Amino acid sequence: MSTLGTTAVVFDLDGTLVDSEPNYYEASRQTLAAYGVTGFTWADQEESVGISTRETVTLWRERYGLSAPVEELLAEKNRRYLELARTATPVYPEMRKFVELLAGEGVPMAVASGSSLRAIGTILAGTGLDAYLRTVVSSDEVARGKPAPDVFLEAAHRLGAAPADCVVLEDAAPGSAAAHAAGMRCIAIPYLTTQADAPEFTTAELLLRGGQPEFTARATYDWLVRTARSGKP
């Protein structure tokens, strides 16, 4: 057992461990342009932060009146995204330190993401995080994506951990809601700090309103130790 007892840690990937949103934005812009939709903006991209790629392209069909099937759009966006992801997907430095710290202490860890398994695998391999994060769940493998709890509950199941012993790190409101629905504690690090007041974040046990600049590996680990001992945040 680790120094944190039965605590297990579940990471969201995009916007939490790695800054992949710029790549997702560019992949979205290119894909939509290929289907005749121009003028896709970063503000449009922000609306899909925290939901799965499948849900995103499903929304596109409604919003832009696209006739292409969801599977076709999904494959095209994933193809373009993977091309960009292979080139460069930066890991947040303090997140890398945190993962390494937890690994050194023997804490069970998993990744639970709305991205495809291939995208998750590509990023983890390309950043070297796959050496520490071997348990991976994509929302493609469960019935419902975030804000439903399915992906987090599946991660707990694969880790052999009780949901109440899991702590989720999330950057998006739907993910925070999913963690709460799963009965897990949540450390929220908003990717869009302008959304820090979103009601979904009020359920987080630890909210770093300033986002990644406010996150440090040591302070977060100390919080985990303190709350593991006290049994409360």
Residue in the structure block whose two tokens are 């930066």 = 90
The rounded distance, in Å, linking the Cα atoms of 8 and 62 is 39
The rounded distance, in Å, linking the Cα atoms of 130 and 118 is 13
DSSP 90: P
Residue 44 annotated as catalytic:
no
166-170/135-138 β-pairing: unpaired
Work out the number of other CB atoms within 10 angstroms of the CB of residue 174.
22
184 within 8 A of 167, measured Cβ to Cβ? yes
Catalytic one of 12, 19, 150, 171? 12
Which amino acid makes up residue 103?
A: A
Q: Where are the extended beta strands (E) located within 171-211?
A: 185-188, 206-207
The rounded distance, in Å, linking the Cα atoms of 112 and 159 is 12
Enumerate the active-site residues. 12
